[in-house]
Structure 1
Amino acid sequence: MKTNIIPAIRLTIVTLVFFSVLYPGLIWGVAQLAPNRGHGEVVVANGKKYYTNVGQTFTEDQFFNNRPSAVDYNAAGSAGSNKGPSNPEYLAMVKARIDTFRVHNSDVDLKDIPVELVTASGSGLDPDISPKAALVQVKRIAAVRKVSEDAIVNLIDSHTEKPLFGMFGPAKVNVLGLNLALEKL
């Protein structure tokens, strides 16, 4: 028995030291080499500080709406809703989001509403939407801002991040960056 317990205790201690001290220290050290020392990408606009890698709340008709959040964009409580697609409460929440979207975007058919505009992401902090999700909002924003739709479409195109090496991941648009650029139009 002694031949099994002592190696198990040693392995437990080595594992604890590695995963509790050495590995977090290594990750922290690498983060210090990143821009803003691992505290996220910060943008200051209109005297307010925003993190570009965390979703923000945009609900006014003059801005692009972002993906809903199950945690109200609170990075300290990052999480999804954990409700399955057959949960009646979840279905009611999605239906309410669809109804709200249709009130503000009456020209968009139900089948053309991108799923990410009515469902929260797994983290609840997703800062990006697909180019399609941005394009379905163009008419509303152009009408409210009295700007041509072509100018807004060009803005979306210029802020679309293509997949890595043209094949890894989807094309995406950072909503904060797009809305800040929209303010400069």
Structure 2
Amino acid sequence: MKTKQSILAPVIRLTATTVVLCGLVYPALVTVVAQVTMPDRADGSLIYNDQNEVIGSALIGQNFKEPRYFQGRVSSIAYKSEASGSNNYAPSNPELLTRTEESLKQWEENNPTVPVSQVPIDLVTNSGSGLDPHISPAAARAQIDRVAKYTGLTKADLQDLIQEQTEPLELGLFGTEKVNVLKLNIALQKLMK
């Protein structure tokens, strides 16, 4: 008959080995590979201003309230990255309907030249994470009248700016074209100078 000590010894060794491999070796290996192969992404895809100060991340949306800037998707978590996630409402959920109606009403107030029926869906709906930094090129173009009014830039200049900032499909095949709102607004700010 085996003793308690002889039964526990392999369990303890296996646990210690698993902790070392999964808790130390694997994370260290992944960190090294990420830092070598894609250091920018591994460090959070941070965006710096001219004074070398961090102003955001290319991976996390921000709330631009001033009408002279392009605005991103609605975020039910106020773009707080520690609270990533979204309410998983069904299309028939009354709270989703109320939030969407409020977003459309706000859109109508801020963008009177674009009818509500032509508002791109990504401007009034949440992404799955609530942190999506991208909008569709159509969503950016829908805001041109308002941005032109508040910045004094021509609509043609804003069209060109959106085109320059439009990111293509991944590997030319996957996803959709998209515009990073933070990068677009940084480029817009440079045009306004």
TM-score with structure 2 setting the length: 0.82
1:38 aligns with 2:42: yes
Mapping for residues 18-167 of structure 1, pairs under 5 Å = 19-33=22-36, 34-36=38-40, 38-45=42-49, 48-50=53-55, 51-167=57-173
Aligned-partner Cα distance in 1 for 2:92–2:22? 38
Q: What is residue 189 of structure 2 aligned with on the other side?
A: 183
> What does the per-residue CA deviation read over 1:95-141, in whole Å, with 9 as the maximum and x for residues that have no partner?
10111011111111222111111111111111111100000000111
Aligned-partner Cα distance in 1 for 2:43–2:83? 17
Aligned-partner Cα distance in 2 for 1:165–1:39? 23
1:49–1:26 CA distance, 2 compared to 1 (3 A): same
CA shift, 1:20, in A, is 4.1
1:46–1:83 CA distance, 2 compared to 1 (3 A): farther
Residue identity over aligned pairs, in percent, reads 37
CA contact (8 A) 2:107 2:116 kept: no
Unaligned residue ranges in structure 1 (runs of 5+) = 1-5
Aligned-partner Cα distance in 2 for 1:71–1:42? 21
Aligned-partner Cα distance in 1 for 2:138–2:22? 42
1:109–1:35 CA distance, 2 compared to 1 (3 A): same
CA RMSD, aligned part only? 2.6
1:46–1:100 CA distance, 2 compared to 1 (3 A): farther
SS in structure 2 of the partner of residue 32 of structure 1: helix
1:145–1:37 CA distance, 2 compared to 1 (3 A): closer
SS in structure 1 of the partner of residue 132 of structure 2: coil
- Which structure has the bigger radius of gyration? 2
Aligned-partner Cα distance in 1 for 2:41–2:91? 39
Aligned-partner Cα distance in 2 for 1:125–1:21? 30
Letter in 2 for 1:136: A
Aligned-partner Cα distance in 1 for 2:71–2:148? 14
CA shift, 1:80, in A, is 1.1
